[in-house]
Amino acid sequence: MESILLKLTLPDNASIREGTSQLREALRSPSAVAELCGALASSGEPQVRQYAAVLLRRRLSRPAAWRRLSAGGGAEAIKAGCLAALVAEADGAVKMAIAQLVAAMARHEVARGGAKVSWDILTERNAVKCFQAEFEDV
């Protein structure tokens, strides 16, 4: 998945077209969410991490997609991974994209009433960790 997303960041129209067709095909796979999470967590390129976060947000923003993921048991791992990526991320644009992804997931959790029990995303501890480096630079 990382190589596909990397093609989409190149300034060559032919590689962008090829990458777009490969991405459409890859997103049809049941493992697409896991592959995007892998690219978000392990890519060395900030553009790839940002694009993976945006694609995940768009994919998981739909309530039906989130319910399927939660029913399959993958939601908890994705939430934990996104929080870890948010805290560890140094690039501001990537951090914003991950924060938007986390907000989309939190919206689903709050809507189903499980946020109090299963996910402490809005605790002061996580917010301080996430933005501590940005405040120290000011």
CA distance 132 to 87: 9
For the chain, give the percent of residues with pLDDT over 90: 33
Please state the separation of Cα 92 from the chain's center in Å.
Answer: 14
At 9, list the tokens: 């960041």
Would you say domain 2-137 falls under CATH 1.25.10?
yes
Domain ranges of the chain: 2-137
- pTM, 2 dp: 0.79
Per residue in 71-99, pLDDT tens? Answer: 777 788 888 888 888 888 888 899 999 98
User: Residue 25 pLDDT > 80, yes or no?
Assistant: yes
Reported as a pLDDT band with limits 50, 70 and 90, residue 127 is low
Residue pair 75/69 in contact (Cβ under 8 Å)? The answer is yes
User: Residue 2 pLDDT > 50, yes or no?
Assistant: yes
Residue pair 50/44 in contact (Cβ under 8 Å)? The answer is no
